[in-house]
């Protein structure tokens, strides 16, 4: 990887980090467990590694933005996540911020 490719990759990851959190929170307005969440994000064009997504879910839960519960589905115990009440509030604010940033960037010629 050249220096410029490396720089691009670092900047891309930095840009994606916050966006992925936003996408995960938004997607979890509907309940999912790790694997189906990953699939539904991928279906919307957002590929995310398992090793990034699963720990991210844990972190967001620790921060009180998500709630989870173990439940049996198709004879298997799975951990289902959904957006918490606090998470809904913060998601609303984050989406406003995202739209405002996006509009500003669009307006810059």
Partner 1 sequence: MEILERYLQAVRKFLPGNRQDDIIAELRANLEAQIEDEERECGRALSKAELEELLKKMGSPVFVAMHYQPQRYVIGPKFFPMYWYVLRLAMMWSLLVFAIVNAVQIGAGQMGQHVATAIAQALFQAPFTLLTVAAWITLAFAGIEYVAEHYPNVWKSNVWLGGNWSVDSLPALEKHIAPGGVRRSYAKAVAEVVFGFIFLAWLLLVPKYPIVMFGPGVIAINALPYTLAQSWWTFYWIIIVINSMQLAWNCIDLLRDSWQRVNPLQHIVAKSLSVVAFAVMLATSNRVYVVLKNPVADLAKYGDTLDGINRGVHLGLSLLVAIAALQLAWEIVKSVRDRQNA
Binding site for partner 1 (CB under 8 A): 33-36, 39, 49-52, 54-55, 58, 76-79
Report the nearest approach of partner 1 to the CB of residue 50 (Å): 5
Say how far apart CA 25 and CA 76 lie, in whole Å.
Answer: 25
Say how far apart CA 34 and CA 43 lie, in whole Å.
Answer: 14
Nearer to partner 1 (CB atom), residue 47 or residue 106? 47
**From the centroid of its chain, how far is CA 52?**
10
The answer to whether residues 85 and 100 touch, using CB atoms and an 8 Å cutoff, is no
DSSP helix/strand/coil, 73: strand
Nearer to partner 1 (CB atom), residue 51 or residue 104? 51
Nearer to partner 1 (CB atom), residue 26 or residue 78? 78
Report the nearest approach of partner 1 to the CB of residue 67 (Å): 15
Report the nearest approach of partner 1 to the CB of residue 102 (Å): 27
Nearer to partner 1 (CB atom), residue 4 or residue 51? 51
DSSP state of 65: S
């Amino acid at each position: 990887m050249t220096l410029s490719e490396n720089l691009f990759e670092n900047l891309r990851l930095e840009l994606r980090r916050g966006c992925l959190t936003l996408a995960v929170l938004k997607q979890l307005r509907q309940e999912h467990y790790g694997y189906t969440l990953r699939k539904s994000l991928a279906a919307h064009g957002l590929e995310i590694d398992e090793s990034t997504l699963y720990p991210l879910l844990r972190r967001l839960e620790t921060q009180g933005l998500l709630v989870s519960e173990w439940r049996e589905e198709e004879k298997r115990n799975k951990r289902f996540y959904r957006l918490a009440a606090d998470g809904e509030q913060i998601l609303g604010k984050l989406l406003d911020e995202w739209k405002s940033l996006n509009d500003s960037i669009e307006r810059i010629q």
